A and B are shown apart, each in its own frame.
Chain A
Amino acid sequence: QVQLVQSGAEVKKPGASVKISCKASGYTFTTNYMHWVRQAPGQGPEWMGLIIPSGGSTTYAQKLQGRVTMTMDTSTSTVYMELSSLRSEDTAVYYCARAIVRSYYIDYWGQGTLVTVSS
C-alpha cells in the first residue's frame, strides 16, 4: 500500500531554515509527481510546489520562490522540502502529497509535519 512518511516536528527561530523529508513506499517512486502543501493554524491549505522524481524538475509557487527548494533521493525514495529565511508566518503543518500517475492530481497525503517558527 502507498505510504508517505514524513519527518518529525520542528521548532525554528526566525531566519533559520528547515528541511522536511517525505519517504515514499508501496509504489515506483519515479512514476508519480510529488506536491508540497502547507496549512497554517486555522487556515486552509496552501500549495507550495511540486517535484517530478523522474528527473528532479520543480515548480514552485511564486510567493515562495527563492526561499523554497524541493529535492529528492531516488535511492531512498525520499523527497525533501527546504524552506529558508523562516518567519512567524511560516508556522504551519507541511504535507507532502503524491499525484496520480501521469497527472498532477493528488491522491495520497503524508501525515504532516508541524513547523513552528518562534523566537
Chain B
Amino acid sequence: DIQMTQSPSSLSASVGDRVTITCRASQGINNYLGWFQQKPGKAPRSLIYAASSLQSGVPSKFSGSGSGTDFTLTITSLQPEDFATYYCLQYKSSPYTFGQGTSLEIK
C-alpha cells in the first residue's frame, strides 16, 4: 500500500496568516492526489483534486501543488472557519490511502 505522510500533525496559526501543509507519498503517485477539510462531527469537504485543481465552489485562498511524491496545500488569509483538520488522499492505486491529518488550530 502507498503510505501518505502529512506534516505537521498539528499547526497553530493566527487569523490572517498563510499556512502550508505537506503530504509525502511513499512512492510516486503522479498528480493523483486530493485534499479535504473536516470539522468536528461533519463530513469531509473536498477542496482540491488532481493535486492542484480547485473543486467547484471552493475559494481561491486554497491552493495545491506538487507531483510525484511531494505535495502541498496552502491556505492564505486564514479566517476562523478555516480552522479544521486537513487530509490528503492518494488515488494512484488501490487501496486509496489518506494521510493521518493535520489539525489547524487558532493561536
- Are A and B physically bound partners? yes
CB-defined contacts of A97 to chain B, threshold 8 Å: 44
A-B contact number at CB 8 A: 56
Q: A64 to chain B: closest CB distance in Å?
A: 9
CB-defined contacts of B98 to chain A, threshold 8 Å: 44-47
Kindly identify, within residues 12 to 69 of chain B, every residue whose CB is under 8 Å from any CB belonging to chain A. Answer: 32, 34, 36, 38, 43-46, 49-50, 55-56
CA distance A108 to B46 in the complex (A): 7
CA distance A97 to B49 in the complex (A): 14
CA distance A103 to B98 in the complex (A): 18
A59 within 8 A of B: yes
Known: A47-B95, A59-B94. A100 touches B49 (CB 8 A): yes
CB-defined contacts of A59 to chain B, threshold 8 Å: 94
Assess whether A106 is in contact with B95, with CB atoms less than 8 Å apart: no
CB-defined contacts of A61 to chain B, threshold 8 Å: 94-95
- Bin the interface of chain A by size: 20 to 34
CA distance A37 to B96 in the complex (A): 10
CB-defined contacts of B100 to chain A, threshold 8 Å: 44
Interface centre among B32, B38, B43, B97 (most CB of A within 10 A): B43
CA distance A108 to B34 in the complex (A): 13
Assess whether A103 is in contact with B43, with CB atoms less than 8 Å apart: no
A27 within 8 A of B: no
A29 within 8 A of B: no
Known: A45-B87, A104-B91. A109 touches B96 (CB 8 A): no
CA distance A35 to B89 in the complex (A): 13
Assess whether A106 is in contact with B56, with CB atoms less than 8 Å apart: no
Known: A44-B101, A47-B96. A109 touches B45 (CB 8 A): yes
Assess whether B99 is in contact with A44, with CB atoms less than 8 Å apart: yes
A-B contact pairs, 10 of them (CB 8 A): A44-B99, A45-B87, A46-B98, A47-B95, A47-B97, A61-B94, A63-B95, A95-B43, A104-B32, A106-B36
Give the B-binding residues of A (Cβ under 8 A). 35, 37, 44-47, 59, 61-63, 95, 97, 100, 103-112
